[in-house]
A and B are shown apart, each in its own frame.
Chain A
């Protein structure tokens, strides 16, 4: 989903850059209010894992591949604003170090995968998790659905940008992008729920939005997980 240079108009890239930069600035403020000793190395490891996992393209239908995004994964570990910053750092390193995603399209890529993927994906997760009464089953259903949506909505945003830039009409770009990413999103949901359930089994305290809400005491937390 990394958009290269040349696909989008400069005007659109400037607009998404402003929105993304504003979101990141607000994210820095929010993260600054809650980050302690524990979160610092956790953010490093989460970013490293997201980067590594994004290298692993898996084949999907018709000679196409997809890869893990990690936006909702990062959100449930460290919160949506830290996830936005993680996605931004990963995208900057991929762009400058690996020529993956264009520098002119960086604002758009951060918008699609960070603002829409991480913030939007987390909003869906949070809504569904609350709707489920914060049960353990509800947590994983919300996680899977939000992961799927983070990829599909991110690709939808990319399709809109392609259409606005006059690269591909919306009637073609939208069904094509959302269609293929609906399949890639299934992979996203499987990887996210698997990874988070492994972390919950070993270190439930690292999944910030699980233990904080469902288990106020340490005892209840262990009972809820095992």
Chain B
């Protein structure tokens, strides 16, 4: 039972990594729903003036020091998948029964 669960988790993590590495470079570069609405109705520039947090290491899902756009996105995506996995597991571990009052 326990090893079966482990197996599924490796599959899930593997699928997520494959998506992030091999499919994300082919994602549509078109603006998303909100960006398109902002462009069409003339308030897109309101979002371009400033940002509070300027230290995002993988701005726009790329690594600035890698020239190749596809490779850059793939690596940024893979790092994001690992990061969110570790953060969520860590958080969930703290949330397990009886750990928080």
Contact = CB atoms under 8 A, between A and B. Distances in A.
A51 B23 contact: no
Contact of B33 (A31, A95, A155): A155
Contact of B37 (A44, A104, A173): A173
A134 interface: no
Q: Which one of A37, A38, A43 has the greatest number of beta carbons of chain B within 10 Å?
A: A43
A103 B36 CA distance: 21
Interface in A1-37: 1-7, 28-29, 31-37
Contacts of B5: 38, 41-42
Interface residue tally of chain B, by bracket? 35 or more
A172 B82 CA distance: 40
| A interface majority secondary structure | helix
| B interface majority secondary structure | helix
Given A35-B97, A43-B92, A176-B41, A57 B60 contact: no
A67 interface: yes
Contact of B99 (A32, A38, A60, A97): A32
Interface stretch (A82-90, A115-123, A135-143, A208-216): A82-90
A98 B95 contact: no
A34 B97 CA distance: 6
Interface in A169-191: 172-173, 176-177, 180-181, 184
A103 B53 contact: yes
A86 B16 CA distance: 15
B61 A45 contact: no
Interface of A: 1-7, 28-29, 31-49, 51-53, 55-60, 62-67, 85-86, 89-90, 93, 95-100, 102-104, 155, 158, 162, 167-168, 172-173, 176-177, 180-181, 184, 202-203, 206
